[in-house]
Amino acid sequence: MRGAIHPLRSAKRLGRFLGGSKSCYICRRTFRSFRPYRGGYASVPPFVRELDVIGSDVENFSCPYCDCHDRERHLSMYFDKLNLWARVTGSSVIHFAPEDKLAQRIMSQKPALYVKADLFPNSPGVERIDITAIPRPGESFDLLICNHVLEHVHDDRRALSEIFRVLKPGGNAILQTPFSFFLSNTFCDPSINTDALRNRYYAQEDHVRLYGRDLFTRIEGSGLSLRLRTHAQCLSDFDASIYGVNAREDLILAVKP
């Protein structure tokens, strides 16, 4: 019958909601397991696994209740712990690829200006903005959020230059992106030009590079000053395995001097 749910699939779906070993930091519900990204860790390409890339928790990716992703939960935890919400109230904020739940929380803090931006908007209220050519005057924003975006941007140095330009002096940028400590230099090869190759070497078909340790010098090369905050330093009182976040993913916070 069309529209009928297969009993086994229904049982598996229900199983995610039973028990209470996992907890969503955003919606505060408890359940048995998060949903994995695609096939979870088993689907991560061998090349990416060998480089031990630090990024999303693909095993504990999305909440079965509110559908928030691990990077959204993790950033919310950092914002709470470091009281970054105080930088939102009455301030001007630009948020690239805005996550729904995080955007709602930002709006609740009453910023003076909140620009939701994406190169390919698919939600109401999101402006079409290219991060390499932000259509705003210099020194327009107190806070810029770029959470797992730079790995998609072809000219990331131009993007970082634009981020520096539109931030006010003393303004903050959050620049989360996957990277590998095993790589001294960012891996980017023009011959990796198909979805299959990008998935194999960059971990996702719409990624255009795999950052190495030089990620941090790239950020500083734009004029920004790094203010890294480690998970161990900030969130040691949270069990990452319960909340479905990657304890190795630190907060990449940058400041315009």
Low-confidence residues of the chain, pLDDT below 70?
A: 1-19
Instruction: Determine the pLDDT at residue 19.
Output: 58
Which three-class secondary structure state does DSSP give residue 226?
A: strand
pTM confidence score: 0.91
**Residue whose pair of structure tokens reads 């061998």 in the numeric block:** 46
The type of residue at 67 is: D
Instruction: Determine the pLDDT at residue 4.
Output: 43
Which three-class secondary structure state does DSSP give residue 142?
A: strand
Report phi then psi at 179, rounded to 5.
Answer: -160, 170
Instruction: Determine the pLDDT at residue 184.
Output: 97
So where are the chain's domains? Answer: 69-255
Instruction: Determine the pLDDT at residue 3.
Output: 43
Spatial CB neighbours of 125, under 8 Å, sequence gap ≥ 6: 116
Q: What is the CATH number of domain 69-255?
A: 3.40.50.150
